[in-house]
Amino acid sequence: MQVNAEQIVDVLRQVTPDLLRWSGAIAKRMRTFNVALEGKHSGNANTDALTLADLTVQELVIAGLRDRAPLLRHCRIEAEEANGDLGAFAEESPLSIALDPIDGTKYFKDKTGNGYAVMIHLRTRDEVLYSLVYAPEDGATGTWTQAYGNVVKSGADDFSVNAFDCLEQMPAIDPARRPDSKKIYLIGFQKNDPANAAQVTAAGLHGYAPDDMPASIYPLLATGAFGGSLIHTPNIYDYPVSFQLARLLGGDSVWVHNGERVNFSETWMDDRADMLRLPGIVATADSPAKLKILCDLARDWSGVRYPE
**Can you list the domains of the chain with their CATH numbers?**
5-173 (3.30.540.10), 176-298 (3.40.190.80)
Q: Which amino acid is at 141?
A: T
Model confidence at 306: pLDDT above 70:
yes
Rounded-to-integer distance, Cα 123 and Cα 263, Å: 10
The string of pLDDT tens digits covering residues 47-91 is 434 578 888 999 999 999 999 999 999 999 999 888 889 999 999
Q: What are phi and psi of 31, to 5 degrees?
A: -65, -20
CB contact at 8 A, 180 and 223? no
Query: Is 80 annotated as belonging to a binding site?
Result: yes
To the nearest 10°, the Cα dihedral for 39, 280, 130, 42? Answer: 10
Q: Which residues contact 74 (CB under 8 A, 6 or more apart)?
A: 1, 3, 89, 90, 93, 95
Q: What do you get for the CA distance between the two ends of the chain, in Å?
A: 46
* Closest C-alpha among 86, 43, 45, 34 to residue 65: 86
* Mean pLDDT of the region 299-305: 95
The string of pLDDT tens digits covering residues 158-202 is 999 999 999 999 999 999 999 999 999 999 998 999 999 999 999
Residue 63: its H or E element: helix 52-68
pLDDT at 50: 52
pTM tops 0.85: yes
* Closest C-alpha among 224, 221, 35 to residue 133: 221
Query: Is 100 annotated as belonging to a binding site?
Result: yes
Tell me the sheet residues that pair with 283.
Answer: 230, 254
Query: Is 103 annotated as belonging to a binding site?
Result: yes
